[in-house]
Amino acid sequence: MIKPRCFRALLLLLMLLMLTGCRARTGGVRYPSETASRSAGGPASDTGTSAAEEGPGGKEIDETGERTQENPESSRKEYDEDAPAEILAGGDSDVHTPGDGPGMPLEAAEAADRVSRLNDGAEETATETVSAPEAEDLGVSEDAEEADSALKYYTALLEDRLGTLFECKRVYVYWETPSDRVTVHRSSPEHSLILDAGAYDVSARLLEENLRVDDGWVARKDPGVIVKAVESGVLGTGVTDVSRAETVFREMVSRKGWEGIAAVKGGRVLILSSQLLEAPYLTVAAELILAKCAYPELFADEDPDEAIALLCTEATGKAPEGIFYYKTEDK
């Protein structure tokens, strides 16, 4: 009969033998190629290394025999050194459109043949499709060499030319109402007019109850253009001389601290009749006047007086009589 002490010793020995028994060797990570070789009955590596081997010159040779070389700019991707072409980051967007990163948007005609110009042997060309109304506005369709109305013409003209501006080239505008030192709120028609003229409003962040500003505030904003709206007795229908507008202009540019403002130094202080805010066709004329004041090089061929006459005649059936804006020559 086995004594309890001997039985415990024997049981301990059996447990030790079970813990030290043989196990299956796991080795390294098994790659798909290795698994395929084993299933096909071919030789397999016991080291768990990748199936790719190193060939002459330090290049790797994969299972298909193709040579590859590691991209020094990426630790995970590989590329074929002898590939016929290389794809660069961002290289799949050759034609810039508004809001699509750096670069000036291309004109429709230029964008249409961009593929052909990039590769003289290209078999396909890029085309741009626009809606019929837009094509008529821009005058790009075969049967619409001219816009069917002055309003559409000047609206399309502003959108087209101002669309070429880089954001860093857009100017800031200080707009003053007929009340001295009172500007406009971002919900006002004047604010929308400034934006449609391709500029920014320096007053855009002011609260509606806090639109009265001082001369120092305007000087610190340093706008590129200053607009002063005036009542119809100063400029507008029936006005035949600019004497009162000149008085308003002199008072504006002589304000304390304003001599160093970019708009004053550049001669871009505009006195504008409030009548130009009374109807949509007149607002388009005001946009053109402001846009030409801000970007004279873009609108050198446009005459605001002619635009006012065409727009008013089209809308009312008669040409306007009066002076609607005043501005000195650019310095």
pLDDT, mean of each 10-residue run, the chain (331 residues): 66 67 42 40 42 44 45 49 44 40 46 40 43 50 60 96 94 97 97 97 95 97 98 95 96 96 96 96 97 96 96 94 88 48
166-326 adopts what CATH topology? Rossmann fold (3.40.50)
**Strand-strand pairing, 225-230 and 172-176:** parallel
Tell me, what's the pLDDT at 243? 96
Tell me, what's the pLDDT at 238? 95
Please choose, from the candidates 108, 140, 146, the residue with its C-alpha nearest in 3D space to the C-alpha of residue 127. Answer: 108
DSSP secondary structure code for residue 47 in this structure: S
Whether pTM exceeds 0.95: no
- Taking the mean position of all CA atoms in its chain, how far away is CA 204? 20
DSSP secondary structure code for residue 101 in this structure: S
Tell me, what's the pLDDT at 10? 73
What's the rounded Cα separation, in Å, for the pair 168 and 104? 12
Q: Where are the alpha helices (DSSP H) in the chain?
A: 4-19, 32-39, 108-112, 114-118, 132-138, 150-162, 189-196, 215-221, 243-253, 262-265, 280-294, 304-316
What's the rounded Cα separation, in Å, for the pair 163 and 279? 24
Tell me, what's the pLDDT at 279? 94
Tell me, what's the pLDDT at 13? 72
Tell me, what's the pLDDT at 16? 67
Tell me, what's the pLDDT at 176? 98
What's the rounded Cα separation, in Å, for the pair 98 and 85? 28
What's the rounded Cα separation, in Å, for the pair 79 and 63? 15
Q: Where are the domains of the chain?
A: 166-326
Please choose, from the candidates 71, 150, 180, 161, the residue with its C-alpha nearest in 3D space to the C-alpha of residue 311. Answer: 150
Tell me, what's the pLDDT at 12? 74
